[in-house]
Amino acid sequence: MPRPRLPIGTFGEIICRKIGRRRVEARARYRDWDGKTRLVQATTDTERAAERALKVKLSDRSLFQTSFTALTADSSFTALVDYWLEDLDLEGHLSPTTRELYERDIRTLVLPAFAELSLREIGVARCDRFIKQLAKQSYSRAKHARVVLRLAFALAVRHEILPRNPMDGIARLHRPPSTPNALSATEVDAVRAAVRHWESPPTMRVAGTIVTRRGEPVHRQDHPKTAKSRRAMALPSYAAEAVRQRLAAMGERSPEALLFSSRNGTPLTPNNVRRQLRRAMKLAEIAGVTPHAFRRTVATAVNEAAGVNLAAELLGHSDPKITLDHYIRRDEMVNPVTADLLDQAFRRT
């Protein structure tokens, strides 16, 4: 009967032999992570020292990656969460903001429901029910939880901890129906007047990504979300005039200075901008205006004049469907040319 193969990450019997008069060699066969069995040797002055040196070499085998075998189907979900977050750091392709968002989502949305369960106990039915219950509270929370759950279990499948991803079998998550809203030209004029008469100067966002991270001051991210997000665009005359006025008010400053900043020259936080806008709108008794409403208003205006493709290009969307579904106000008026067509077909003579 053939001798059974060594399990991966283990070694066989240690054999010592004398080399010359004063040296001792310890050797053993070790089965690496790639499945190959290799002879590992260590030589020193005594047999005991040679064995110790050999065991150190065996424990440091570069091809043996202990993290891959640390978890099993009986491990806790909490252990998988920690393992997944470590793997994200190992890959290193996520921005710090996205990495922090993933950790926040899985620890606050998912972990409270799965912390006491082993991986073997988390199946399709449990995941499906969890996402549906969360969706009743908030579609956005359910969507975020689904993303991180799928990613964590996908790692477990790739590393052969689980045979399949339970998130692959859950029901589709349905977005609640919503209609994009945008400001009319009259409403835009009212907003301008309200801001003009407000006690603080107006603020606007011309370009850039403002990022806030827990425990850190607000900063401007030095790169856009994707490489294709770096674009140059012409400003309408009113925006160009606002920039010129702002530059004149700033006086002599470094070319790297922010066009719109706090009193200390630091980036404005999105929360502060929203709070200031709410205050100005409340004094003018105007409701429903948010910073994002301006983006939808711009998309709607460009779409009505030149079509959705140009609106998508202006907003930086790779797919015009995103612009159409989420940024353009619906025009419920059917093209009046239909009335002329029906007149031509059925008008009484």
DSSP letters for 247-303: HHHH-S--TTS-SS--TTSPPPPHHHHHHHHHHHHHHTT--S--HHHHHHHHHHHHH
- DSSP lists the bridge partners of residue 221 as 209
CATH number of 77-169: 1.10.150.130
CATH 1.10.150.130 positions along the chain are 77-169
Q: Quote the pLDDT of residue 62.
A: 52
pLDDT at 190: 82
How confident is the chain (349 residues) per 10-residue block, as mean pLDDT?
Answer: 81 92 92 86 93 88 54 91 94 88 96 94 96 94 96 93 93 84 80 72 43 48 68 84 84 79 79 84 80 87 90 88 86 83 83
pLDDT recorded at residue 136: 94
pLDDT of residue 182: 80
Q: In this predicted structure, what is the pLDDT of residue 213?
A: 43
Is 0.95 topped by the overall pTM? no
